[in-house]
Amino acid sequence: MTLAMTGTVELEPSQPSNARAKWKHMDTVLDRSGPFTDPDFRPGETPKESLARAKVLVIGAGGLGCEMLKDLASSGFRDIHVIDMDTIDVSNLNRQFLFRQEDVGKFKAEVAAQRVEKRSGSGVKITPYCGKIQDKDEDYYKQFAMIICGLDSIEARRWINATLVGMVDEEDPDSLKPLIDGGTEGFKGQARVIFPTMTSCIECQLDMHAPRAAVPLCTLATIPRQPQHCIEWAHIIAWEEERKGDILDTDDPEHITWLYQKALKRAEQFNISGVTYSMTQGVVKNIIPAIASTNAIVAAACCNEAFKIITSCNPCLGLPGTDNYMMYTGDESVYTYTFEHQKKPDCPVCGNLSRPLQVNQDSTLGEFLDSLTERPEAQLKKPTIRTEAKSLYYQSPPSLEEQTRHNLSKKLSELVENGEEVAIQDPAFPTTFKYKLVFQK
């Protein structure tokens, strides 16, 4: 049994019994095995220590994040980190219950950490980071036992997912970080658990997120029917016509006011009522309706899975070959459904991970591509190849072929770094081949 955890908090696992009393209920599931417990589970001190020592990261300190911090702290997690780049807006106060009027303008992560830490009493440490998840590198993410996401952006989810998949080092059990992801939209939500590289990842599951419902551009331009259409018109068409060159900043009140007034005028022309400043803000910032109770349900589901993963007291969601996705639908009565979302073999993130490939750095790109066409497992016919930074050679379209052709006669060492990843595509194959080119000398 290996618990992938690093970093510890200053704490004493064996505390006086009265301090332990507050965990009485949690302890009942840790002090004995249940009917579903894995036969290797050893009740008692082991799971309690795992829980006390686990360093976990919550991404997002908004509606879901606030709930998650509270739930984790009250289930016995004691070393919690939280990351969020946003500051508190007055419109958050209804559901992000950790925040007060006087906190408006302060960083969410900081205030949320302070409040939960204070309320939880001694023994719980919450460390905030106010910034972007992209500011941090693999070393930062590596210190955690698991990552729990309460995000409203698909982009951020895709980023952390790709990072965690890329971190998995087959020699190092400690590099595999379970990812628990919660999401809500109105009365609907989902909780899912991902074991990077082992089970279906966020990128595999991209089809579970419907792209944002957009209104046809022509409706906006000609016959708006709803106040939102007038706002979108101001946002997409009027701004560009009248303020070309100005980059729209959705956090700049002057910009929002301008859009609001444009939208209002247009709404009057078409006899549409209901355009307001806050609706303008909502539409242009693409704020999805957030309901406190849905956040509570989804956050709670995520945190129970976190608890089970760390302590192994009961089977968790997401083990390979089992259900990994729980959806909650509350917009027509209540319906929940848990299923196994299958890993996609051609997933650009977790499908065919890059393999090391020994190359002679003095051979040319052309020679290298020729050698690939002879490799039995590849047998490529017209390979196209790039690194993250460079287009090395493209077979099509013709203009790109022409622009990259000169690379064929260059040495590999001039084009790629030792160990750099290349992605190779061939029209004969649906998948992309990824290799890390390792120089022979």
Partner 1 sequence: MLKIWSMKQKQQQDEAASAGTKKKKVTAAQLRVQKDLSELSLGSTMKTNFPNPDDILNFELTIEPDEGMYRGGSFVFTFKINQNFPHDPPKVKCTQKIYHPNIDLEGNVCLNILREDWKPVLNLNAVIVGLQFLFLEPNASDPLNKEAAEDLKVNREGFKRNVRTALGGGSVKGESYERVLKK
The neighbour count for residue 315, using CB atoms within 10 Å, is 13
Q: Are 423 and 432 in contact (CB under 8 A)?
A: yes
Q: Are 59 and 299 in contact (CB under 8 A)?
A: no
**Smallest gap, in angstroms, from Cβ of residue 119 to partner 1?**
28
Find the binding residues for partner 1 in span 395-414 (CB under 8 A): 395-400, 403-404
Select from 138-146, 237-245, 299-307, 346-354 the region that touches Zn ion (CB under 5 A). 346-354
**Smallest gap, in angstroms, from Cβ of residue 111 to partner 1?**
29
Which one among 61, 350, 365, 422 touches Zn ion, defined by CB under 5 A? 350
Which one among 389, 409, 414, 440 touches partner 1, defined by CB under 8 A? 389
Find the binding residues for partner 1 in span 262-291 (CB under 8 A): none
Give the pair of three-digit tokens for residue 240: 């560009």
Q: How many residues bind Zn ion (CB under 5 A)?
A: 6
Residue 214's binding partner among Zn ion, partner 1, none (Cβ under 5 to 8 angstroms by kind) is partner 1
Which residue shows structure tokens 């090391």?
A: 356
384-401 in b/e form (b: 16+ CB < 10 A) is bbbeeeeebbbbeeeeee
Distance CA 148, CA 57 (A): 6
Distance CA 102, CA 90 (A): 10
Q: Give the x-and-dash track for 141-170 against partner 1 (CB under 8 A).
A: ----x--------xx--x---x---xx-xx
Torsion of CA 232, 233, 234, 236, to 10 degrees: 80
Residue 433's binding partner among partner 1, Zn ion, none (Cβ under 5 to 8 angstroms by kind) is none
- Does 214 sit near partner 1 (CB under 8 A)? yes
Residue 201's binding partner among Zn ion, partner 1, none (Cβ under 5 to 8 angstroms by kind) is Zn ion
Distance CA 275, CA 66 (A): 31
Select 106 or 209, whichever has its Cβ closest to partner 1: 209
**Smallest gap, in angstroms, from Cβ of residue 348 to Zn ion?**
8
Distance CA 233, CA 213 (A): 15
**Smallest gap, in angstroms, from Cβ of residue 391 to partner 1?**
5
- Does 320 sit near partner 1 (CB under 8 A)? yes
Which one among 86, 89, 203, 421 touches Zn ion, defined by CB under 5 A? 203
Which one among 72, 145, 347, 380 touches Zn ion, defined by CB under 5 A? 347
Q: Please, which residues bridge with residue 408 across strands? A: none
Residue nearest to Zn ion (CB): 347
**Smallest gap, in angstroms, from Cβ of residue 125 to partner 1?**
21
Distance CA 82, CA 176 (A): 19
How would you write 373-403 as a 3-class SS string?
Answer: HHCCCCCCCCCEEECCCCEEECCCCHHHHHH
Which one among 207, 254, 332, 374 touches partner 1, defined by CB under 8 A? 207
**Smallest gap, in angstroms, from Cβ of residue 403 to partner 1?**
4
The neighbour count for residue 324, using CB atoms within 10 Å, is 24
Find the binding residues for partner 1 in span 39-98 (CB under 8 A): 40-41, 50
Residue 190's binding partner among Zn ion, partner 1, none (Cβ under 5 to 8 angstroms by kind) is none
The Cα-based distances of 45 to 36, 50, 56, 223, 312 in angstroms read 19, 8, 20, 67, 13
**Smallest gap, in angstroms, from Cβ of residue 401 to partner 1?**
10
- Does 417 sit near partner 1 (CB under 8 A)? yes
Q: Are 191 and 208 in contact (CB under 8 A)?
A: no
Radius of gyration (Cα) for the chain, nearest Å? 26
**Smallest gap, in angstroms, from Cβ of residue 90 to Zn ion?**
39
- Does 381 sit near partner 1 (CB under 8 A)? no
Residue 155's binding partner among Zn ion, partner 1, none (Cβ under 5 to 8 angstroms by kind) is partner 1
| 218: annotated active-site residue | yes
Which residue shows structure tokens 């930074």?
A: 389
Please identify which of the residues 66, 201, 204, 218 carries the catalytic annotation. 218
The Cα-based distances of 349 to 193, 202, 346 in angstroms read 16, 9, 9
Select from 100-108, 115-123, 272-280, 419-427 the region that touches partner 1 (CB under 8 A). 419-427
Binding site for Zn ion (CB under 5 A): 201, 203-204, 347, 349-350
Known catalytic residues are 218
